[in-house]
């Protein structure tokens, strides 16, 4: 079997069986990265030497019998995780010279488990975007192609677009992502991957460049639910350095994969059947419902009445927090600086040159909604509606064990599309944002292809800290869907 077709679980088995060494596996992936990354632009920074070093250490651990399920597994690290000694840019010009002297908790856990880091994956600048087109290091190309139009470049979704493209194109075995309003789930859906945004508080945010603190969550992106479970096992856990980290025990998520859905009550929210939604998406959703019913789940119609306000809440709360979180990029202690005649001029020039258009827009919207005279009308109001959205989920979870929805309103679209105004782009997140606002876990699994041959995903939403049910339902869908399609551009 080609090393590029392996899942984490299979690769781990092969490594233990000495069918392949970690160095061989990493060398293969390093080669694939070198070959395909110039085209896909999935990585901002590649770290082949570091990867080889880590692979050697992994082989030693494998030999010593001290290996974990991730030892020797080559992964891509979203360039939002600070990595000690490895440049971390958040896809922004303003952080282009930044080399963190520390390692984020999540990446440190993966490192400790023996995972091999191939490089830092591209993303939308500061994770703000849904198409990975706002990166200061250029857009990422989706390795999937439309059947009829193989030349058109499609976006991989965002913001974890580099992670998604890398895993889909087999130039990483798996990847880390972060999700603030859909940044793991939507690109996973656009690239035929599984990806989970865990419960808010499940993974430490320490060392991850912050976008919107009350929403940001790290999570895995991989070829299937099982790989996601293996990764999340290592990524999750209480961290005393993050005050919002949950003091919750971490179960073995892989155990939940085979639970099945028999007897589970699955909620189908009426409000996600938005007018104008692509019929292919609705048809796939219906298929998903049928699969679950066939496997013994009880399908329950539910209502999440404030769903339609999710995006509006999100586009107030997230920019507000971002406007403050990004104030630290001022050219004083780290990052790029543009000189000015005085301190204020230096700030203004540094930030004007350092931030891209979308980031500036969001900082300005966030600044405005928090400013004197507008706070109550925008920010406070949004927080109240956010409470209503949380209540919607709490009420729903009184009746059901999980909720099934589409992940995104469309399949991957072309580079340059949906650019008429910022709001058109924002609408991509319509199905993913509510779970972010409520802090509940949500996973996208690939469930089929559209007529153009592009992957589509279904989203499974669970109760707070019940990722296990999310995995159980996702695995059931995955099994029923039997998704096996591969993207056009990939390492072979």
- Reference 490, options 187, 37, 2, 143; nearest CA is 143
Of 48 and 422, which has the nearer Cβ to other proteins?
Answer: 422
Q: Which of 49, 249, 275, 333 binds other proteins (CB under 8 A)?
A: 333
Can you list the pairs that 374-379 forms with residues at least 24 positions away whose Cβ atoms lie under 8 Å? 378/316, 378/320, 379/316, 379/317, 379/320
Cis before 443? omega within 30: no
State how far the Cα of 372 lies from the Cα of 375, in Å rounded to an integer: 6
Q: Does 271 sit near other proteins (CB under 8 A)?
A: no
User: Residue from 25, 164, 230, 246 that binds other proteins (CB under 8 A)?
Assistant: 246
Instruction: Kindly state the smallest distance separating residue 118's Cβ from other proteins, in Å.
Output: 21
Helix (H, G, I), strand (E, B) or coil at 161: helix
List helix spans (H) across 404-466: 422-426, 433-438
Active-site choice (92, 107, 130, 159): 159
Tokens of 412: 């991957």
Catalytic site residue 410? no
Q: In this structure, are residues 389 and 437 in contact, taking their beta carbons and an 8 Å threshold?
A: yes
Does 156 bind other proteins (CB under 8 A)? Our answer is no
3-state secondary structure of 406: strand
User: Could you give the CA distance from residue 28 to residue 490 in angstroms, rounded to a whole number?
Assistant: 13
| Residue 51 contacts residue 30 (beta carbons within 8 Å) | yes
Smallest gap from residue 322 Cβ to other proteins (A)? 10
For the CB of residue 179, give the shortest distance to other proteins in the complex, in Å.
14
Binding residues for other proteins, rule CB under 8 A, total 100
Which range binds other proteins by CB under 8 A, 115-123, 180-188, 235-243, 249-257?
235-243
Q: Which of 50, 52, 346, 486 binds other proteins (CB under 8 A)?
A: 346
Could you tell me the end-to-end alpha-carbon distance of the chain, in angstroms, rounded to an integer? 10
CB atoms within 10 A of CB 423: 10
Q: Which of 21, 30, 46, 104 touches other proteins by CB under 8 A? A: 104
Segment lying near other proteins (by CB under 8 A), choices 144-152, 200-208, 224-232, 252-260: 200-208
Nearer Cβ to other proteins (8/370): 370
Ranges within 203-232 binding other proteins (CB under 8 A): 205-210, 212-214
In angstroms, the CA 229 to CA 470 distance is: 10
| CA-to-CA separations, 235 to 216, 263, 394, in angstroms, rounded | 14, 30, 26
Nearest approach in angstroms of CB 244 to other proteins is 5
Residue choice 29, 137, 190, 200 for contact with other proteins (CB under 8 A): 200
Instruction: Determine if 4 is a binding residue for other proteins (CB under 8 A).
Output: no
Q: Does 360 bind other proteins (CB under 8 A)?
A: yes
Neighbouring C-beta atoms of residue 388, cutoff 10 Å: 13
Stretch that binds other proteins, among 6-14, 37-45, 92-100, 161-169 (CB under 8 A): 92-100
* Contact indicator for 238, 245 with CB cutoff of 8 Å: yes
d(CA 219, CA 230): 11
- For the CB of residue 119, give the shortest distance to other proteins in the complex, in Å: 18
Q: In angstroms, what is the minimal distance from the CB of 311 to other proteins? A: 8
Query: Restricting to residues 364-393, which ones interact with other proteins according to CB under 8 A?
Result: 364-365, 367-368, 370-372, 374-375, 377-388, 390
* CA–CA dist 37, 34 (Å, integer): 6
* 78 counts as catalytic: yes
Residues 435-454 that bind other proteins (CB under 8 A): 437-439
Q: Considering only residues 160 through 199, tell me which ones interact with other proteins, judged by CB under 8 A.
A: none
Q: Between 2 and 243, name the residue whose CB sits nearer to other proteins.
A: 243
User: Which region among 38-46, 51-59, 337-345, 405-413 touches other proteins (by CB under 8 A)?
Assistant: 337-345
**Only segment of 15-23, 94-102, 220-228, 286-294 that touches other proteins (CB under 8 A):** 94-102
Q: Which of 16, 60, 300, 334 binds other proteins (CB under 8 A)?
A: 334
Asked about 92 being catalytic, the answer comes back as no
Determine, following the binding rule CB under 8 A, whether residue 464 of this chain makes contact with other proteins. Answer: yes
- Using CA atoms, how far apart are residues 215 and 181, in angstroms rounded to an integer? 7
| Residue 342 interacts with other proteins (CB under 8 A): yes or no | yes
Q: Which of residues 287-306 bind other proteins (CB under 8 A)?
A: 306
Residue whose CB is less far from other proteins, 289 or 338: 338
Q: What angle do CA 223, 91, 323 make, to 5 degrees?
A: 115
CB 431 within 8 A of CB 190: no
Alpha carbon distance 292, 192 (integer Å): 20
Among positions 47-86, residues that touch other proteins (CB under 8 A) are 81-82
CB-nearer residue toward other proteins: 235 or 476: 235
The binding track of 404-433 with respect to other proteins, each residue x by CB under 8 A or -, is: -----------------xxx--x-------
Nearest to 43 by CA among 145, 176, 154, 151: 176
Instruction: Work out the number of other CB atoms within 10 angstroms of the CB of residue 37.
Output: 22
Q: How far is the CB of 252 from other proteins (least distance, A)?
A: 24
Active-site residues, by number, are 78, 159, 183
């Amino acid at each position: 079997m080609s090393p590029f077709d392996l899942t984490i679980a299979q690769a781990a088995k092969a490594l233990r069986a000495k069918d392949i060494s970690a160095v061989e596996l990493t060398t293969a992936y390093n080669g694939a990265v070198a070959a395909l990354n110039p085209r896909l632009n999935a990585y901002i920074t590649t770290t082949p030497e570091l990867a080889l070093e880590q692979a050697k250490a992994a082989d030693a651990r494998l030999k010593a019998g001290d290996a974990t399920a991730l030892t020797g597994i080559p992964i891509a690290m979203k360039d939002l995780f600070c990595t000690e000694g490895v440049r971390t840019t958040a896809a922004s010009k303003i952080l282009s010279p930044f080399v963190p002297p520390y390692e984020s908790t999540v990446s440190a856990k993966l490192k400790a488990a023996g995972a091999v880091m191939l490089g830092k994956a591209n993303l939308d600048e500061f994770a703000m975007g849904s198409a990975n087109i706002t990166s200061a290091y250029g857009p990422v190309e989706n390795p999937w192609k439309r059947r009829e139009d193989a030349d058109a470049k499609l976006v991989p979704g965002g913001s974890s677009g580099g992670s998604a493209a890398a895993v889909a194109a087999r130039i990483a075995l798996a990847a880390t992502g972060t999700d603030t309003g859909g940044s793991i789930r939507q690109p996973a859906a656009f690239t035929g991957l599984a990806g989970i945004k865990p419960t808010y508080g499940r993974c430490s945010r320490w060392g991850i460049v912050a976008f919107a603190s009350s929403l940001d969550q790290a999570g895995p992106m991989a070829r299937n639910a099982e790989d996601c479970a293996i990764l999340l096992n290592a990524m999750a856990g209480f961290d005393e350095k993050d005050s919002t980290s949950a003091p919750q025990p971490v179960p073995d998520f892989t155990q939940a994969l085979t639970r099945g859905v028999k007897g589970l009550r699955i909620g189908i929210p009426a409000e996600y059947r938005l007018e104008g939604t692509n019929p292919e998406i609705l048809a796939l959703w219906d298929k998903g419902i049928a699969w679950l019913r066939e496997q013994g789940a009880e399908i329950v119609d539910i209502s999440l009445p404030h769903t339609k306000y999710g995006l509006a809440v999100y586009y107030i709360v997230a920019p507000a927090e971002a406007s403050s979180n990004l104030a630290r990029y001022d050219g004083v202690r780290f990052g790029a600086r543009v000189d000015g005649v005085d301190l204020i001029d230096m700030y203004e020039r540094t930030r004007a040159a350092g931030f891209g258009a979308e980031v500036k827009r969001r900082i300005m919207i966030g600044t405005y909604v928090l400013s004197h005279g507008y706070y109550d009308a925008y920010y406070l109001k949004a927080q109240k509606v956010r409470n209503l959205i949380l209540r919607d989920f709490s009420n729903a979870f009184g009746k059901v064990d999980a909720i099934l929805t589409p992940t995104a309103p469309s399949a991957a679209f072309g580079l340059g599309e949906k650019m008429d105004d910022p709001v058109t782009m924002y609408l991509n997140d319509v199905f993913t944002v509510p779970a972010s606002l409520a802090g509940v876990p949500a996973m996208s699994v690939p469930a089929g292809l559209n007529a153009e041959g592009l992957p589509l995903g279904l989203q499974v939403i669970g109760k707070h800290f019940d990722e296990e049910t999310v995995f159980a339902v996702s695995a059931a869908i995955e099994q029923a869907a039997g998704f096996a399609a591969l993207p056009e551009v990939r390492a072979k």
